[in-house]
Structure 1
Amino acid sequence: MSSAGIAAPAIVYLLADHLDSALAAGEDLVKSTLRWNASDPRAADGLTEQRHEERAAIEAARTLEMLLLARVLKSRESAQELARIESQFKLITRLYTSGTEIVADAAKSLTDETSYAFDAGDGITAYLRARGLIAEDEAAPLEAASLTVTEQFLVAGRMQLGPLLDLIAMFLDTLETHYELYDQPRSSTSAVLRASTTGVTV
């Protein structure tokens, strides 16, 4: 039964904030385009600066990914708390937490500095490979390549971005249906993913 018009518990607003922020980070990430080795590698002038710009672009994408992961982890905690006080949310909470289990486990492994460093650490090509931006057998991106983040981007190297954002949007839409948390309807995640890519460039 819909709870529209009834004051939502405080945990609902906290959960909605985590979900909304996760969506925003994911939507910004899917707009990113990373331009690789755009300058002539034979020209020494500006090569160091070019490498710094490439790393800055990768770090910007990585920051959005970490923000997305952090909000997903917090939303899982809030969802479980909501399910304890609102039984009607037990099923969708189970669906959401099971669906995001793979990235939650991956996020925990990222905090293990020993294994992270062993697995290439913050190496740029290793990161691109793990996120599906270049092929596993590709030594490095081609010169002047444009690496566009799409819904196939592997969050934490485990789960495609598109399905993850769909899960987040589904939960947020469910909260909106029950509690009318927002004055204006949200655009669907699929529409966002179909939008033309812009964003981070080097």
Structure 2
Amino acid sequence: MKQSGTTIPPCVYLVADHLDAALAAGEDLIASTENWATGDPSDPGVAGAQRWALSRYRCHELNLVARIVQAREHVAVLGRNAPRFRPLAQLFCAATADLAAAFNELNEQVEADFETGGAMTAYLRTRGLIDPEAAGVGDLDTPEIGDEFLVAAKVPLGVCLDLVAEYLDALDIAFDLYPEDELSPAATVSANGPEEPDDATSTADQKSLHHASQTPSGTSDRKAALVTISC
């Protein structure tokens, strides 16, 4: 629990921002399964759609890894500046060491696979989306991205997202990163009940109604007659 008067280190906000973005990238990666097109790969339309789907997989995966690596750098700074977070920071850095090491190799790996003509099959195989001995994806099969997807061919996606979410929760508990917004004036009025009418206005209205009820009904008729005669 955050103590009153505690100054939040700037690196905490940077870590939280990158971890939030990493979770979003992971969700986008899972949802990108819908982009896959089934059919005969020899059909130019199907082949083009599958290449585009594969590019979406790679894009979200690279975004996820990049955000985790950037968060990792700021987590190391946080561990040095906040001793109580040092064990947790060391755990996070150790758990993401494989991703950090593989980050710079991702593009090189894709380029090498492309040059050998096995870009799609190699990618799907190394991510655990098809059987290691399979020649490729069946015409009616769709690679399902889930918790077992190997991010950067190293770490299961479910493990990555759980680690990110748990560390983000730890930061929120310690520094109260997302406090509840104070009630707005409108919400306060609504919570306290309907607004009472102003006393002065209410009294004046009551006097006006009372005066109207006490006025003789013939007064208005006499005024109308005088106006008619004067004309």
Q: TM-score, normalised by structure 2?
A: 0.70
Q: Does residue 154 of structure 2 align to residue 158 of structure 1?
A: yes
Cα shift readout 1:7-38 (whole Å, capped 9, x = no counterpart): 41111101100111011101221233256562
**Shift of the alpha carbon at 1:120?**
5.2
Percent identity, please: 37
Which runs of 5 or more structure 2 residues have no equivalent in the other structure?
A: 181-231
Against the structure 1 CA distance between its residues 176 and 35, is the aligned structure 2 distance closer, same or farther, given a 3 Å change threshold? Answer: closer
Q: Does residue 60 of structure 2 align to residue 100 of structure 1?
A: no
Total equivalences in the alignment: 177
**Tell me, what secondary structure is at the counterpart of 2:167?**
helix
Aligned letter for 1:19?
L
Task: Tell me what 1:170 maps to.
Answer: 166
Matches within 5 A, 1:5-20: 5=4, 6-20=6-20
Distance 2:19 2:35 in 1: 30
Matches within 5 A, 1:42-81: 47-81=43-77
Cα shift readout 1:125-150 (whole Å, capped 9, x = no counterpart): 11000100001100101112121101
Aligned letter for 1:102?
D
**Shift of the alpha carbon at 1:72?**
0.7
**Two-structure CA RMSD over aligned residues (Å):** 2.1
Which runs of 5 or more structure 1 residues have no equivalent in the other structure?
A: 185-202
Aligned residues of 2:110 and 2:119 also touching (Cα < 8 A): no
Task: Tell me what 1:193 maps to.
Answer: none
Aligned residues of 1:34 and 1:147 also touching (Cα < 8 A): no
Task: Tell me what 1:200 maps to.
Answer: none
Distance 1:135 1:152 in 2: 13
Which has more radius of gyration? Answer: 2
Q: Runs (4+) of structure 1 moved beyond 3 Å?
A: 4-7, 34-37, 39-42, 115-122
Q: TM-score, normalised by structure 1?
A: 0.80
For CA contacts below 8 A with separation 6 or more, give which structure has more relative contact order: 1
Task: Tell me what 2:27 maps to.
Answer: 27
**Tell me, what secondary structure is at the counterpart of 2:142?**
strand
Against the structure 1 CA distance between its residues 117 and 41, is the aligned structure 2 distance closer, same or farther, given a 3 Å change threshold? Answer: closer
Cα shift readout 1:144-186 (whole Å, capped 9, x = no counterpart): 21211010000000110001111111110000001111247xx
Task: Tell me what 1:147 maps to.
Answer: 143
Against the structure 1 CA distance between its residues 183 and 55, is the aligned structure 2 distance closer, same or farther, given a 3 Å change threshold? Answer: farther
Aligned residues of 1:37 and 1:145 also touching (Cα < 8 A): no
Distance 1:119 1:51 in 2: 17
Distance 1:36 1:18 in 2: 28
Q: Which residue among 81, 85, 89 is the counterpart of 1:85? A: 81
Distance 1:108 1:36 in 2: 27
Against the structure 1 CA distance between its residues 75 and 40, is the aligned structure 2 distance closer, same or farther, given a 3 Å change threshold? Answer: closer
Counting helix residues as a fraction of each chain, which structure ranks higher? 2
Aligned residues of 2:125 and 2:132 also touching (Cα < 8 A): yes
Counting strand residues as a fraction of each chain, which structure ranks higher? 1
